[in-house]
Amino acid sequence: MVRRPRLNPVAAAARNRVEDALTDVLLPAGAASGAAPEEAAPLVLVACSGGPDSLALAAAAVYFTKGGRCRVGAVVVDHGLQEDSAAVARRAAAQLAGLGLSPVEVRTVEVAATGMGPEAAARTARYAALDAAARESGAAAVLLGHTLDDQAEQVLLGLARGSGTRSLAGMPARRGPYRRPFLDLRRADTEEICSFYGLDPWHDPSNTDPAFARSRVRTQVLPYLEEQLGPGVAPALYRSARILGQDADYLEQLSSEAYAGLRAEAGGDILLPEEGLRTLPASLRQRVLALAAIEVGGTQPSFERLLAAETLLERRGSAGPVQLGGRVGVYRQVRGKSVLPGGPSYGNLVFRNNRPGTEPPSRSTQE
């Protein structure tokens, strides 16, 4: 009798994480028996770079093709940022096909030279390619290989930027079709999984390039903190992200409810009553102001811009407008000037997108 090799405990844990992430996607074991898997089982895509995290994720996910619980394919995004990127993508695709994933697709993207920085530009191009692949294939979910270490790095970067609760919550385990099953696994775990399956992962040289802030956090900052504070810094940052994520979800729910109860609309502008805003605690008030700015076509305002908008509620000095970004400004409606049809609307903050051809409000300084 031939003994089957015992499943590596870390590989078993990885399978469990994938199953938990796909509870709403996977069919019951054996549900597709008697029917072609292509016809009966939902498709799950793995976003794969060829690195240890995404290769390990692919190896864990493909297990669920047994019994027709799902089909598992992969998308390899070639950013074209290195001379050998095409060869790296082909090699990753070959390993994925060898694991049994199908379909396996390589998508080459062009990373725009914009003012957002190379990492952000590459991320934008990558998600555009993944969105298109999921849409065209009808995939039920897209799996991403981010680990606990990635989450810890994200939290530290957010702290360095002075970010708010949502940013410090790091990457969500689930957003739309995207799932991150490995957020509580260590990077070393994914390397062990690759070794167990005989995979040869690619190690991106940019991960150790000190030109990138994330690379410096990975190779210098986190090791230094571990040395000075003792082991366990990365898991502690991961726990903080989970706690802050719960807090952010609750605050966003409360602020959405408050915003829905306060907002009025007039000719494309959004009006929020000053009295209602003053009754809100600062954490909710700033979120409500941001929601109004975003609804009229702006971007998420900075903390400093939101504080400037709050000064309008003090009714001292200028009535605005305060610029919130994305051509959106907010001003205090002065006495005797109407925004809402049919009568005065004094007592509101007015959010307006100053698109070309739109006359901005006058700068009234006193009422």
Residue positions forming the annotated binding site for ATP: 49-54
Give the three-class secondary structure for 180. Answer: coil
Q: Give me the sheet containing 174-175, strands edge to edge.
A: 104-108, 71-78, 43-48, 141-143, 178-179, 174-175
CB–CB of 122/81 below 8 Å? Answer: yes
DSSP tag of 81: -
For 219, list phi and psi in degrees, rounded to 5.
Answer: -95, -20
Quote the radius of gyration of the chain (alpha carbons, Å): 25
- What is the spatial order of strands in the sheet that 269-273 belongs to? 264-266, 269-273, 348-353, 328-332, 322-325
Angstrom distance (rounded) from CA 69 to CA 25: 9
Nearest to 22 by CA among 129, 125, 143: 143
Q: How far apart are the first and last CA of the chain?
A: 92
Distances (CA, A) of 54 to 41, 141, 177, 199, 208: 22, 15, 17, 11, 18
Q: Of all residues in the chain, what percent are helix, strand and coil, respectively (each to 5)?
A: 50, 15, 40
Annotated binding site: 49-54
**CB–CB of 69/27 below 8 Å?**
yes
**Which value, to the nearest 10 degrees, does the dihedral of the CA atoms of residues 10, 16, 18, 20 take?**
-150
